[in-house]
Structures are given as C-alpha cells and as structure tokens.
Amino acid sequence: MVARFDHHPVGVDANDLDALIIPGGMAPDKMRRHRAMVDLVCAVHPRGGLVAWICHGGWMAVSANILAGRRVTSFHSIRDDMVNAGADWFDEEVVQDGNLISSRTPDDLPAFCRVLLEKLG
C-alpha cells in the first residue's frame, strides 16, 4: 500500500505501507503541523519503507528528523532547511539515497516517477 498525504492519515498503520509519497507546493508546510502526519513518516522511515517527496515535500522529512547524513534534493528555496537538518543537498532532478527519493520541481516528475516505479517494482 502507498500512502499519499492528500488527507489526514487517521487510521493508517505504517506497517501496512510500502511507501509514502509527499507532494510539493505549500501543503507540506501545513501537513507538518499535524503530529500524526510527522509520526507516520517517523514510523515508515526506520523500518526501510520508501519515503519520497518532490519540491517542498522535503519539509516533512525535515520535521521528521530523517535527513542527517542523507543525500537529497528539493525545491531550491528549502535547501537551507534541509542542510540545517543535516542533509547533503544536490541540485539534481532526482536523488535516491537508500529508502529516500527526492526531486526538485514538477519538471522533474518524469525522472521522479521512473525511480519510484523502479523502486516499488
């Protein structure tokens, strides 16, 4: 099962998820204000579940404290937030580091989706 953060994750069990795909735009700034949403990322990530985001979705990863020493990308305006959270930030269309997959902008969606589909195989 893949969870999307379009809705509040009430009743979602992290153990049932293969992946979390976090959208971009300004929604992640609102989503990370809900502890249950951040807790879901915190529950999926350490067990090796795929956590993927595009654009500003990286804010959820920042709030979940899962970026220390990891290679990532994001929309350029949140680069400092990601670096301050301990990430190694790269200006690339898609970056995969273990169970983390990240992309910069909607223009990167083809590469982002290709890597997601390969990983979910």
Look at the block and give the residue holding tokens 């990240």. 102
Q: Which one of 7, 8, 56, 76 is the catalytic residue?
A: 56
The first and second tokens of residue 20, run together, are 């979390």
Contacts of 81 (CB under 8 A, 6+ apart): 58, 59, 62
Tokens of 5: 């953060």
Q: Is 109 exposed, middle or buried (0-12, 13-18, 19+ CB in 10 A)?
A: middle
Is 8 catalytic? The answer is: no
Return the half-sphere exposure (C-beta side, CA atoms, 13 A cut-off) of residue 45.
Answer: 24
* Catalytic center residues: 56
